[in-house]
């Protein structure tokens, strides 16, 4: 079974208006004391939990590209990933250049996840993104020149005043930039964010957002990016291995403030306090376990779907007659496919996955 390590880098140049991830503003990169705190946490957990070398390492944030290549190398030396491990670093376009990316590649990073979001500057400005479309193009070109073969691009759908033309321009930017993987997310107004407090004008309706999503799935498929999860699309062989550990209910360790973990079915997380993490006083908070419902929820995010024999084998759970009848209703409505063994949601079903789960598990 694959094991993944997530390292949270909570520093950002600015807070985007839609973002509800834990982060702190920083203008001079990642403090050395934070890197040292992560090194101590890695060593401590590896010793206590007798963890194997991770098959994936993921630098998430925040803005992990504020790390220096030397800092990334230190953290990877501490992590000691297994041979052939996927090592992903999230990056903002305005924080990287060819020289820095060459340094990350030498440090052991072999997958770059670039936060492009959109190819239109007016949308980037509205989102509070600190980069331009030209900087996204330059960052993609720099990544290719530096030697990255595995490049992912994050984009957002259904933005204020969104159009199919904006999506086409964004997809073209990523295709020309050599992206082998695309994560496409619908804009959500999260409580506590700037957009949550003051929603922007020009937001699509829920039905319009669904239309943008379904059109994006179709267009990405035509462009050679096969959907393998609700929001993730890849050319063959470039699926994100780290997130697949999450969705397949594998073991992963998350280190840093607000980072979550699941080891041996036991969930826990660190408090959202950089100060406490730096001081070494941030004790992990228990968060229950990973059971049959978690497995169902996560497997139905994937286009491979939920295997009922696997559900029986792992958790000794079988669908009731009522649940099977609900599945048949979903199939009749075009939201799912079911062959008696595997339940898969269609794109139309994936976009209303929460509603389907309520009907299936409620």
Whether the CB-CB separation of 331 and 338 falls below 8 Å is answered with yes
Q: Are residues 44 and 149 in the same domain?
A: yes
Residue 313 lies in a domain: yes
Extended beta strands in the chain, E state: 3-9, 11-12, 24-25, 56-61, 86-91, 111-117, 151-157, 181-186, 226-229, 232-234, 251-255, 260-263, 266-269, 285-289, 306-307, 336-338, 342-345
At 299-335, the pLDDT tens digits run 999 999 999 999 999 999 999 999 999 999 999 999 9
Residue 253 lies in a domain: no
Confidence check: pLDDT of 261 > 80: yes
Q: Are residues 231 and 362 in the same domain?
A: no
What is the domain range of residue 341? 305-362
212: pLDDT confidence band, cut at 50, 70 and 90? very high
Domain boundary among 218, 245, 272: 245
How many domains does one find in the chain? 2
CA distance 138 to 95: 11
28: pLDDT confidence band, cut at 50, 70 and 90? confident
Confidence check: pLDDT of 242 > 90: yes
């Amino acid at each position: 079974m694959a094991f993944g390590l997530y390292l949270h880098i909570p520093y950002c140049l600015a807070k985007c208006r839609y973002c509800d991830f834990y982060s702190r503003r920083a203008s001079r990169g990642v403090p050395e004391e934070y890197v040292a705190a992560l090194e101590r946490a890695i060593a401590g957990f590896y010793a206590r939990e007798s963890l194997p070398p991770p098959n994936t390492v993921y630098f998430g944030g925040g803005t992990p590209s504020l790390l220096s290549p030397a800092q990334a190398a230190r953290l990877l030396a501490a992590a000691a990933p297994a041979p052939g491990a996927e090592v992903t670093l999230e990056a903002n376009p305005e924080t990287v250049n060819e020289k820095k990316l060459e340094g990350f590649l030498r440090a052991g990073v072999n997958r770059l996840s670039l936060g492009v979001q959109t190819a239109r500057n007016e949308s980037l400005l509205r989102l509070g993104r600190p980069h331009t479309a030209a900087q996204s193009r330059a960052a993609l070109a720099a990544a290719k020149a530096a030697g990255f073969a595995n490049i992912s691009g994050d984009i957002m759908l259904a933005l204020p005043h969104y159009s199919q033309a904006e999506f086409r321009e964004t997809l073209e930017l990523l295709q020309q930039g050599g992206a082998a993987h695309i994560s496409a997310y619908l804009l959500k107004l999260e409580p506590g964010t700037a957009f949550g407090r003051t929603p922007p004008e020009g937001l699509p309706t829920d039905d319009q957002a669904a239309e943008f999503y379904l059109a994006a799935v179709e267009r990405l498929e035509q462009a050679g990016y096969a959907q393998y999860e609700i929001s993730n699309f890849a050319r063959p062989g470039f699926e994100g291995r780290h997130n697949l550990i999450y969705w397949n209910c594998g073991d992963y360790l998350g280190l840093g403030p607000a980072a979550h973990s699941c080891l041996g079915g036991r969930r826990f997380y660190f408090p959202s306090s950089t100060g406490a993490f730096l001081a070494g006083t941030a004790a992990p908070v228990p968060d229950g376990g990973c059971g049959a419902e978690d497995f169902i929820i996560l497997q139905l995010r994937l286009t491979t779907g939920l295997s009922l024999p696997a559900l029986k084998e792992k958790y000794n759970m079988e669908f009731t007659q009522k649940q099977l009848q609900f599945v048949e209703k979903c199939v009749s409505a075009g939201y799912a496919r079911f062959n008696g063994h595997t339940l898969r949601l269609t794109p139309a079903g994936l976009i209303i996955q929460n509603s389907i789960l309520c009907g299936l598990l409620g």
